[in-house]
Structures are given as structure tokens and as C-alpha cells.
């Protein structure tokens, strides 16, 4: 870990998220919209492909724990990140090939290639995501770790609207050539920034000269300790409660993700260049609120952020409620305000939730804990995304689109309100104190 907090190092690590945002927008926004709105594919199989990657969730836990204990090619974290992001880069061209197969009336091959693309995308993202967060965590001293993670994650959120607007302008109307252009741009820029962000970074943050000295170093665990580590983590009631809260909040928040752009087309008949910017509206509000939080709340102890997280979730619920009313009444003037309210609440929730996540990731098994939280977020985000898509198709047979989308957004609001009730069921200060004490005892028993 780093003895001193370096703003420049945190900024450089944050550039990693440029590639991450481009990849997410290309797959979950652009490819998704083309498949549903341009090629006329049903939303359910498209949503299923988007969540198919999450059947590989154990990769996140396994690789996170492995990077805690074992080096790969002489590096503790970076080599695992290289391996994962290499798979992600390989998946991008396959998306273009799949669209081409659908365009040329070869749907069987199109689905097969798309399936392979999302399996590679998911495996690579899962293998590197939690390890990257662990690397970020180790780039700062204990009192700055929550801030370091928050800066990097805020950068990702800030980049979503920027990339979404940029991609929307680059492809105002769909064509296969335009999609291939976006794919190549994503491949080149994502690869460069993933390299730039972490090249030699581990050497500067994890060299022995910069590690704080300890009279009781932690002995490395044998490989078979992975199962025992997970059993120990899951045995804690606070860990299970936080997992449930985090999963419910993520599920409810992302029910809108796969259907938001088709919603703009189905209900208001808006073109692709407009609907692609929906993410920009709520994402921009998220960033503004996050910056205000950094300014006003950066000195607050992370274990005290439960109330802020609760307020954020309740605000998000209001945004989804307004969006439901706008859909039911086909009231387009409510569209942008509802997205801005939702985004503002998402900013409060993100700042508070990341602080709580840092508290719930004790030092000794940071990679494993962050792997668990990453797995929880990815699994429930995928489940929420798929559920929104499936509900659109099922309810669409029973009701007009105005009612269908209103029901989905209302269910999302209900889930967010439930999560706001659960967030303060955990004593975060007690968890931090007990786990630090346990860690100290484990240190004293180390050889």
C-alpha cells in the first residue's frame, strides 16, 4: 500500500475508467438499442445476453482472493488486470460481426457470435474489476482509501454521459458502418487508457520501500484457503445484511437500464440520437451531486454515511415515480426532470454507498471482499436489467406501452424505497471496530 496519498496517481488510475465507460456504453446502450429498435429483436433475449456474462460471477471472487495471496507474472494486481482487459478487448470486434450477421439475415450465427462476445466481455470484466479496485485501495493510506475508490468510481459515472453523448453524435442514425466505426474507436481508446492507467503503477505503490513497516507481517495463505476465506466472510451477519441491501438497491436502480432508450422510442417516438443522451441527463446530475458531496462531505467518517445513502435512495425513488407518471400520461415534459431527480439521488447514493463499501472491506482480505461486492453489484445489476427487459415484453402483450413502462418504473421506485429502509440495519462503526480488532489478533499470531 502507499504511504502517502498522491492526487496524480489517483487521477492516472481514474483514466482506466475511460475505457470502461466506452465498453459499457457500446454494449449495454448502443448494441442494445440497435438490436431492439433498429433490428426489431425482442428485448428479452437481448437482455438475457446482457446478463449472460454474470454466470461467470465466481471469477470475480476467485481472482480477487487469488490476487490477495499470489502474484501472477511477478505482479500482485496488475497482471490479473491485463489478462481480464485483454479478453474484453477481444470481445468488441465480435459485437460488430454479430450485428453484421443479423443484418445479412443470418440470425443463428448472429446469436452465437453475440453470445461468445458477451461471455468474453463478462469474463474479462469480472477477472479484472475487483482486482483494479483493490489496486486503487492500496494506492492510498487507510484514511484515504474510501476517497481513492470514490474518485475512481465517480470518474466512471462522470464518463457515462460524456461517452453516451459522444456516441450519440457519432451515430445519429444507425448504419452497420457507423457501428463498426464506434467499435474500432472503442477498441483503440479503451486499450490505450487501460494500459496508461496501470503501467508501472504497481511498482510505485507496492514496492517494499513504500510499504509501512509492520512487526507482524501477514503470512500468505495457501491456495486451498479460498473456500475457507469465503465461508469466514459470509458467516458474518453484517456482511450478509450489506450484501442484501446492496443487491436490492442495485437491482431496483438498474431495472431502467435496458429499456430506457426503447422507452423513448416506444412512448414518445424519439430518434436514436436523442434517446442515447438519456444516460447523459441522469449521469450528468449524478456527477454534479457527487462533486458537491466531495466538497462538503469529504472529511466525514465513512461509517457515518448511512443516512446520506438512505436520502439518495429515496430521491432516486421519487425520480422513478415521476418517470412512471410521465409514461402513464404520455407527458414528455416530465421526462428530463425525472431523469435529473433520479441522477441527483444516484449521486448521493453513490457517495454514501462507496464509503460504506470501503468500511465493509477489511484490509486482510480486501480483494476477496471487493470481489464479493463487485459480484453482488454485477449480478443484481444484470438481474435488474434483464427483469426490466422481460417485464417490457410480458406486460407489453397485456397493456399499451405507456402503462407497461409506468409499471416497471413504479416497481423500481418501490425497490429503491425498500433498500432505503435496509441500509441503516447495519452498525457500520461496530463492524469496522470488530474487524480491525480481528485483524490485529491475526497479525499477532502470524509467524
Task: Note the pLDDT of residue 366.
Answer: 66
- Centroid of chain to Cα 8: 23
How far apart are alpha carbons 369 and 357 in whole angstroms? Answer: 9
How far apart are alpha carbons 233 and 239 in whole angstroms? Answer: 7
What is the tens place of the pLDDT at every residue in 99-142?
A: 888 888 788 898 999 899 998 998 888 888 878 887 887 777 76
How far apart are alpha carbons 439 and 433 in whole angstroms? Answer: 10
C-alpha cell of residue 2? 502507499
**Is residue 331 helix, strand or coil?**
coil
Q: CB-hemisphere CA count at 13 Å for 432?
A: 14
- CB-based contact 349:312 (threshold 8 Å): yes
- CB-based contact 376:243 (threshold 8 Å): yes
How far apart are alpha carbons 417 and 248 in whole angstroms? Answer: 10
- Centroid of chain to Cα 369: 16
Task: Note the pLDDT of residue 439.
Answer: 38
What is the tens place of the pLDDT at every residue in 198-250?
A: 888 776 554 443 444 433 344 444 545 667 777 777 878 888 999 999 999 99
Which residues pair with residue 75 across a beta bridge?
A: 72
The closest of 57, 51, 55, 18 to 32, measured between CA atoms, is 51
Residue 139's contacts (CB-CB under 8 Å, 6 or more residues apart) are 1, 2, 5, 6, 9, 10, 13, 148, 201, 205
Task: Note the pLDDT of residue 444.
Answer: 32
| Domains of the chain, each with CATH number or no CATH | 7-201+227-445 (1.20.1250.20)
Task: Note the pLDDT of residue 436.
Answer: 61
pLDDT digit of tens for each residue in the chain (447 aa)? Answer: 444 556 778 888 889 999 999 998 888 778 887 888 778 887 778 877 877 776 777 777 777 777 777 777 767 788 888 888 999 999 999 998 998 888 887 888 989 998 999 989 988 888 888 788 878 877 777 666 667 777 888 788 778 778 877 887 788 777 888 889 889 999 999 999 999 988 887 765 544 434 444 333 444 445 456 677 777 778 788 889 999 999 999 999 999 887 888 888 888 878 766 776 787 788 889 889 988 988 888 777 777 888 999 999 999 999 999 999 999 988 889 999 999 999 999 999 988 888 888 788 776 676 678 778 877 887 888 789 888 988 988 898 889 899 999 999 999 999 999 999 999 888 888 887 777 644 333 323 333
Helices vs. strands in the chain: H and E counts, helices first: 20, 0
Task: Note the pLDDT of residue 216.
Answer: 38
- CB-based contact 268:339 (threshold 8 Å): no
Task: Note the pLDDT of residue 142.
Answer: 65
Task: Note the pLDDT of residue 367.
Answer: 67
Amino acid at each position: 500500500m502507499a504511504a502517502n496519498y498522491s492526487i496524480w496517481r489517483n487521477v492516472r488510475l481514474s483514466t482506466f475508467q475511460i475505457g470502461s465507460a466506452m465498453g459499457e456504453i457500446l454494449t449495454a446502450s448502443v448494441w442494445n438499442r440497435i438490436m431492439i429498435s433498429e433490428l426489431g429483436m425482442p428485448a428479452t433475449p437481448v437482455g438475457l445476453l446482457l446478463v449472460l456474462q454474470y454466470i461467470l460471477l465466481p471469477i470475480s471472487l476467485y481472482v480477487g482472493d487469488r490476487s490477495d495471496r499470489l502474484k501472477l507474472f511477478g505482479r500482485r494486481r496488475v497482471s490479473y488486470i491485463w489478462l481480464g482487459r485483454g479478453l474484453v478487448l477481444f470481445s468488441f470486434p465480435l459485437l460488430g460481426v454479430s450485428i453484421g450477421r443479423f443484418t445479412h439475415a443470418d440470425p443463428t450465427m448472429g446469436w452465437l457470435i453475440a453470445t461468445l462476445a458477451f461471455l468474453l466481455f463478462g469474463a474479462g470484466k469480472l477477472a479484472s474489476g475487483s482486482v483494479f479496485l483493490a489496486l486503487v485501495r492500496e494506492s492510498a493510506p487507510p484514511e484515504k482509501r474510501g476517497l481513492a475508490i470514490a474518485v475512481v468510481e465517480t470518474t466512471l459515472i462522470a464518463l457515462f454521459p460524456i461517452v453516451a453523448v459522444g456516441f450519440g453524435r457519432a451515430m445519429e442514425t444507425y448504419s452497420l458502418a457507423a457501428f463498426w466505426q464506434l467499435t474500432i474507436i472503442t477498441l483503440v481508446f479503451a486499450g490505450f487508457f487501460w494500459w496508461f492507467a496501470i503501467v508501472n503503477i504497481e511498482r510505485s505503490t507496492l514496492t517494499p520501500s513504500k510499504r509501512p513497516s509492520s512487526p507482524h507481517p501477514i503470512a500468505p495463505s495457501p491456495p486451498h484457503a479460498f473456500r475457507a476465506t469465503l465461508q469466514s466472510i459470509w458467516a458474518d451477519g453484517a456482511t450478509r445484511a450489506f450484501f442484501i441491501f446492496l443487491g436490492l438497491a442495485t437491482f431496483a436502480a438498474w431495472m431502467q437500464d435496458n429499456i430506457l432508450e426503447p422507452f423513448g422510442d416506444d412512448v414518445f417516438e424519439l430518434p436514436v440520437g436523442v434517446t442515447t443522451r438519456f444516460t447523459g441527463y441522469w449521469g450528468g446530475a449524478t456527477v454534479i451531486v457527487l462533486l458537491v458531496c466531495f466538497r462538503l462531505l469529504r472529511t466525514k467518517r465513512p461509517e457515518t454515511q448511512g443516512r446520506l445513502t438512505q436520502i439518495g435512495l429515496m430521491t432516486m425513488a421519487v425520480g422513478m415515480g415521476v418517470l412512471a407518471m410521465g409514461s402513464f400520461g404520455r407527458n414528455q415534459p416530465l421526462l428530463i426532470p425525472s431523469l435529473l431527480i433520479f441522477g441527483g439521488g444516484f449521486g448521493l447514493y453513490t457517495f454514501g454507498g462507496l464509503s460504506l463499501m470501503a468500511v465493509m472491506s477489511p484490509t486482510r482480505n480486501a480483494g476477496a471482499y471487493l470481489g464479493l461486492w463487485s459480484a453482488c453489484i454485477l449480478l443484481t445489476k444484470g438481474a435488474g436489467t434483464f427483469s426490466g427487459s422481460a417485464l417490457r415484453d410480458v406486460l407489453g402483450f397485456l397493456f399499451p406501452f405507456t402503462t407497461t413502462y409506468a409499471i416497471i418504473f413504479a416497481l423500481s421506485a418501490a425497490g429503491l424505497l425498500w433498500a432505503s429502509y435496509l441500509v441503516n440495519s447495519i452498525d457500520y462503526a461496530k463492524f469496522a471496530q470488530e474487524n480491525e480488532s480481528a485483524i490485529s489478533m491475526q497479525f499477532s499470531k502470524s509467524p
